[in-house]
Structure 1
Amino acid sequence: MASKLLLLPFVLLVGTALSTNPLSEKLQEQLKNPAVVNFREYLRIDTSRSENLPVGVEFWRQQAAEAGLEFAVYAPAGKPICVLTRVGADPELPSIMLNSHMDVVAAVPSEWTYPPYEAHVDEEGNIYGRGAQDTKDIAIQYLEAVRRIDALNVTLQRTIHITLMPDEETGGFEGIRPFIASPEYKALNVGFALDEGLSSPTDDIYATYQDRRAWSIEITVKGSGGHGSSMPADIAIKKLQKLINVMMRYRKPLEKALKSVSSLEYGAYTTLNINMINGGLAANIIPETFTLVADMRLCPAENATEILSVVNSWAEFAGNGTTVKFLRREMESLATPIDESNPFWVTMKETITQMGYNLVPVVCPATSDMLHVRNTGTPAIGFAPKRRTTPRIHAADEYLNIDIFLQGIDIYVPLIINLANVPASGQESVVAN
């Protein structure tokens, strides 16, 4: 690449054991770090509930004011989307979007060692909280990296937008989907995006360039109801049993295939899980309906039209009166090129490599907001410097170590600088099928 990459010095904090003291001197100092303070404050906002999103908005409004960033809130479908902007030296160049989401999945406190919205810190320096890995961590890291860049008085040619989405966990129907179709998004002139990435138990850092397609399938079976003392033959539970049996037969080879692959290869396979079964009114009433909700993730090689036929065949096998409704169905997921044709990828790879880390491209096993961004033709990479971290996304005791969190800011500073200074090349839209 013709341009010279800027690589700022950074401090690699080795895994020095903390004192057995719950509050070692090192930990006490880290807890005073403004980045850690902001991270813990953000984690304490229970954004698993939509009614708390306005609290998140006010948090980001205050952060933008303190950092001297422009701030805007958009709500193209009702829920608020925050945009914090640092204008570049050449605002006409396509911008860099640093995306994450405010919303988190629900947490069951009884399953956690510490309350999920307390941001508890243990003696090892692990911060526990819902959203610690998904994705409140990277939002604060973006912000703190931009603060540091401003303090260094580094010129960025491209404008930076930090964007906070409100409903990634429920499919983006009131967030990224309507936003990317809005004139406000088009005015951002996004040329490249970073978004949430995967935790890594090693020093490798993963980069997702394509997502699996999420299908949320609701299937309802119907049968004869009546008093619990009667015995009608055509009952709904029989059809539900047939439905589950045929779905589990389909799932068996998928499960077998995944036994022999590493977590890095997970995104190359289709998965199927039955996550909800609802039905019944009372102990003495035979239910007329049962509803099953399945979560299916289609790998890039899977033909969506063929899978649609498979799902419909399940309903036919279950029997008359069975209906299928798709709560979510992503038919397409384009890939961002990870080769020399994509100058942003080249810059990213060189930056991370020069810092001494290994950047590993993988297909995202889940589905992020970037699926919709890539499908518009904008290149996007899922990236998060969560090294030496056990993946706990959507699980109890979700956590992030303070050392790893702070090192992540060190990584984002040169990465953002270099991405924002990628020269104009006429290759801003480089998404491939």
Structure 2
Amino acid sequence: MDTMILARHLAEALTFPTVEGNEEAKENFLAFLTRTYPRVHGELSVEVVGTYSRIYRWKGKNTERLPVLLTAHYDVVPVEEGTQHHWTCPPFSGEIREDFVYGRGALDDKNQVICILEALERALEKGEEPQRDVYFALGHDEEVGGKEGAQAMAKVFQARGLSFSYVLDEGGAVVEDALPGFFQPFAFVGVAEKGSSMVELRVQGEGGHSSMPAGPSSVAILAQAIARLTDHPMKLRLTPAVEKLLQELSGVGGVQGFLLRRPRLFFPLLGRSLEKISTMNAMLRTTMAVTRIQGGEADNLLPQEAWALVNVRLLPGDTLEEVLQEMKKIVEDLPVVMKRITTEEASSLSPTDTAEFKALKELIGEIFPKIPVLPYIMAGSSDSRKYEPCSKNIFRFSAVKLTSSDLTTVHGTDERVSLENLETMARFYEELLRK
């Protein structure tokens, strides 16, 4: 595969500002895909869902084998107003510079869209035929919840009684410096996603002039409630996925390796160390973080009301109702009214002892030799959870090798992908299509 052609295709894809509400950009992007990948759009069945999403189907030789589903999305988040000048290249210029393609969507998730279609186009050019049916669900609204895209496509599959051997979406990657104390890269495969719900804390106060306060103000009570919730995090809990992750790390040897080989037995000890690492803490408990707060509009007035929003990230196995009850106990003696604003429960947990996970692990090993493959729980959300009714094997992995600093560009400034990563990702999908 010609890497520069691949890079130019992605670069052009990045020039379409496919943010929420820009329907013209979405239409133009889909037209670009049609003319750039003529064989895909001429030889595969292509179904329109929700106006801007697409289901591609490539028929395979063996109809008795369960099909596979690849997913990706082409919508992108906006560039924060006032930050455009911080970019090395304009965010929607799709510029190739010093072996990188710059632009919003370069890592999330137009790189995946282009590499999947590139692999399909090349396979069709060579006259190849898959061993089983391959579906590709292309979403247009993942960044705003995926209701008209992935959710609608999942309903189409359900209505047809379709089940998939596995679903593969964006999510994990090969990360070079992800775990403190381990000086090697790891390939992280997401096997679950935490739920993200919003809870409101509201306090009513007396109000009045600040020169004559009659007890704690609504702001002071709210601050006390927030401090308590911060000081009383949810309990640590070891899920099967993280247990497997820790066991895979046990090759370090010594006392550390001995403990990691038996993570459930030694969890009381391991947990106290692991919770100090933010990435591990997020995989071991439901977390609570205050993201917004409001109280008072004048310097000399006691606010009658103060409120805060808490983002609750639910670990698989916890429910928002259970967590709400726990939060209420922590502040039960304070006049705080607590209510849910939005509810998104955690996804189900995909097993790692299946033939499907083993096959994915082997493929990753072919593309990234000698790099350990670890299951993990994603703190964020993707379209993949919408397809849970269609498969028990939902995996989240992007075949790119990144550093922690690279990850900060996703939804941030200077989002970019290297030509080397593009070539690797396209090769990953080429090999996957042959399996």
TM-score category by the smaller chain? Answer: 0.7 to 0.9
Secondary structure of the equivalent of 2:175?
coil
Determine if contact 2:27/2:52 at 8 Å carries over to the other structure.
yes
| Aligned partners of 2:6 and 2:422 also within 8 Å | no
Q: Which residue of 1 aligns with 2:382?
A: 368
Q: What is the one-letter code of the residue matched to 1:71?
A: V
Q: Which amino acid aligns with 2:29?
A: F
CA displacement, residues 76-99 of structure 1 (integer Å, 9 cap, x when unaligned): xxx843323323345575432211
Residue 220 of structure 1 corresponds to: 202
Aligned to 1:15: none
2:222 paired residue number: 240
Query: What displacement does 1:156 show?
Result: 0.9
SS class of match (1:196) = strand
Please give the per-residue CA displacement for 1:252-287, whole angstroms capped at 9, x wherever unaligned. Answer: 998975564484785234333222224555667654
Instruction: Render the CA deviation track for 1:208-238: whole Å, top value 9, x for unaligned.
Output: 1122222232333333456788756574322
The alignment's TM-score, normalised by the length of structure 2, stands at 0.74
Query: Equivalents in 2 of 1:94, 1:315: separation in Å?
Result: 51
Q: How many angstroms does 1:110 deviate by?
A: 2.0
Matched, 1:387 2:401: yes
What are structure 1's unaligned runs of at least 5 residues? Answer: 1-9, 11-28, 419-433
> What are the superposed Cα offsets for residues 95-141 of structure 1, whole Å, 9 maximum, x if unpaired?
32211223333432527433333334432x22333322222221111
Map 1:168-183 onto structure 2 (within 5 A).
Answer: 168-180=142-154, 182-183=155-156
Whether 1:399 aligns to 2:416 is: yes
Q: Distance in 1 between matches of 2:96 and 2:212?
A: 57
Matching residue of 1:334? 348
Percent identical: 23
How far residue 151 of structure 1 moved from its aligned partner, in angstroms, is 1.8
- CA separation of 1:129 and 1:81: change in aligned 2, threshold 3 A: same
Q: Per the alignment, in what secondary structure is the counterpart of residue 385 of structure 1?
A: strand
Q: Give the aligned partner of residue 193 of structure 2.
A: 211
Structure 2: gaps spanning 5 or more residues: 177-184, 237-270
- 2: CA distance between counterparts of 1:310 and 1:166? 37
For residues 326 and 102 of structure 1, the distance between their equivalents in structure 2, rounded to whole angstroms, comes to 28
How far the C-alpha of 1:337 sits from its partner, in A, is 1.9
Secondary structure at 2:348 match in 1 = coil
CA deviation profile, 1:148-186 (whole Å, cap 9, x unmatched): 211222111322222233333344444434543x24554
Render the CA deviation track for 1:389-410: whole Å, top value 9, x for unaligned.
4322333333211211122101
Partner amino acid, structure 1, of 2:33: Q
More off after superposition, 97-106 vs 382-391: 97-106
Match of 2:21 in 1: 51
What does 1:132-211 correspond to in 2, within 5 Å? 132-180=106-154, 182-183=155-156, 186-187=159-160, 189-191=162-164, 192-202=166-176, 204-211=186-193
C-alpha distance in 2 between matches for 1:294 and 1:162: 36
Q: What is the alpha-carbon root mean square deviation over aligned residues?
A: 3.5
Greater mean deviation of Cα atoms: 223-232 or 200-209: 223-232
Residue 277 to residue 411, structure 1, CA distance change in 2 (3 Å): same
**Distance between the aligned counterparts of 2:158 and 2:94, measured in 1?**
33
Task: Give the drift of 1:387.
Answer: 0.8
Contact 1:273 1:296 (C-alpha < 8 Å) held by counterparts: yes
Three-state SS of the structure 1 residue aligned to 2:132 is: coil
* Amino acid corresponding to residue 132 of structure 1 in structure 2: A
Instruction: Give the TM-score, by structure 1 length.
Output: 0.74
Distance 1:286 1:142, change over 3 A: farther
Give 1:413 deviation, angstroms: 0.6
Q: Kindly state the Cα deviation for residue 366 of structure 1 after the two structures are TM-superposed.
A: 2.4
Render the CA deviation track for 1:317-372: whole Å, top value 9, x for unaligned: 5415x231231330x53222222xx3322322223323453333222232323234
Secondary structure of the corresponding residue to residue 333 of structure 1: coil
The code of the aligned residue for 1:55 comes to: A
What is the DSSP-based 3-state SS (H/G/I as helix, E as strand, rest coil) of the residue aligned with 1:295?
strand
CA distance in 1 between counterparts of 2:139 and 2:213 reads 51
Pick one of 45, 57, 62 that aligns with 1:85: 57
Q: Within 2, Cα distance between the matches of 1:122 and 1:278?
A: 44
Q: Sort the Cα spacing of 1:377 and 1:409 in 2 relative to 1 into closer, same or farther, 3 A.
A: closer
Distance in 1 between the 2:273 and 2:300 partners? 43
Asked if structure 2 preserves the Cα contact closer than 8 Å seen for 1:53 and 1:102, the reply is no
Q: Find the aligned partners of 1:166 and 1:291 in 2 and give their Cα distance.
A: 34
Q: Distance in 2 between matches of 1:400 and 1:177?
A: 28
CA contact (8 A) 2:400 2:425 kept: yes
How far off is 1:384 after superposition? 0.5
Write the distance in 1 (CA, Å) between the matches of 2:281 and 2:215: 46
The aligned counterpart of 2:74 is: 102
